[in-house]
Amino acid sequence: MIVDLGLSSHQLTCSKRGFSYKYNGILDMNMNKYTEREYIRGGMSKDKAIDHASKNSVSDDSSKNYAFDDTPKSNSSKCISKHDRSMMNKIHIILNTYSFKKLKFIIETYGQEKKASKIARKIILWRKNNEKMITTTYELKEIILSTCKKNYKSNNKVLSRVFQSFRIYINDELKALKELLISAHKLLKHRSRLILISYHSLEYKCIQNYAENRKNWWKKINENPITPNEREIRLNSSSRSAKMTIFEKI
């Protein structure tokens, strides 16, 4: 079984999906937003899109997942009605209602970004100074870049980490990865192999911890991860951060 944990090119390059800072569009980042048939048709009808947004919105009880209080403060968050909230994407609710502590936690934990505090403060400040909500990829990009020096390569890394942090949080990707690893063991036969390709340290650490805690389930074939050589990176720059790990079911 081969599992590639990376994003598809369609998700990154389609501005309607709102995954990338490189393309301007409505922020979304929801992995399960559309069906394959809807991708082929090139999007959804307005009514259907609203229905999907409503189904995938964050509930008012989402703060229970955290130890700290997330009650929106009047001077740091727009007053959003329950009706408006039900029409919003998860990322819109996060950016426009979450407290400084919660925003910092997401960016720091899932993006491993050192500027987490600065960026969280800038998001709160943007909400105070603007009548409209943060809804587009370029608006979020502008906020992030306002904390950076004018250094192109360095800035892109910061942007990638922050966008990654919200994507992982919204889709609960690490939980999904753990569920995948458990399901793979159930599906594979004795001595079958599981090949995992991860793209960031959180995924890789999750895989390593899982294997370490279940040594009676899996035999690790390669002690060190297999990484792309210079030629492969030249041919496919997206592979530069890839790490391949191989396990055999005991």
Ramachandran region, residue 130 (left: φ > 0; alpha: ψ -120 to 50; beta: rest)? beta
Say if 115 falls within a structural domain.
Answer: yes
Residue 18: which pLDDT band, with cuts at 50, 70 and 90?
Answer: confident
Identify the domain boundary among 171, 189, 221: 171
Q: Are residues 162 and 180 in the same domain?
A: no
According to the model, what pLDDT value does residue 154 have? 87
Helix, strand, or coil (residue 245): strand
Q: Are residues 97 and 19 in the same domain?
A: yes
Q: Are residues 166 and 207 in the same domain?
A: no
Characterize the bridge pairing of strands 218-220 and 193-198. Answer: unpaired
Residue-wise pLDDT tens digits, 179-230: 999 999 999 999 999 999 999 999 999 999 988 898 899 999 998 999 999 9
The separation between CA 65 and the C-alpha centre of its own chain, rounded to angstroms, equals 17
Residue 229 has a CB neighbour count (10 Å cut-off) of 9
Number of domains in the chain: 2
Q: Are residues 13 and 110 in the same domain?
A: yes
Q: Are residues 204 and 157 in the same domain?
A: no
Q: Note the pTM of the prediction, 2 decimals.
A: 0.75
Q: For the residues 59-81, what does the mean pLDDT come to?
A: 40
Q: Are residues 117 and 159 in the same domain?
A: yes
- In the block, tokens 């890839």 appear at 242
Structural domain of residue 151, as residue ranges?
8-30+87-171
Q: For residue 210, give every residue at least 6 positions away whose Cβ sits within 8 Å of its Cβ, in sequence order, or none.
A: 178, 181
Specify the CATH number for the domain of residue 126.
1.10.150.170
Q: Are residues 148 and 196 in the same domain?
A: no
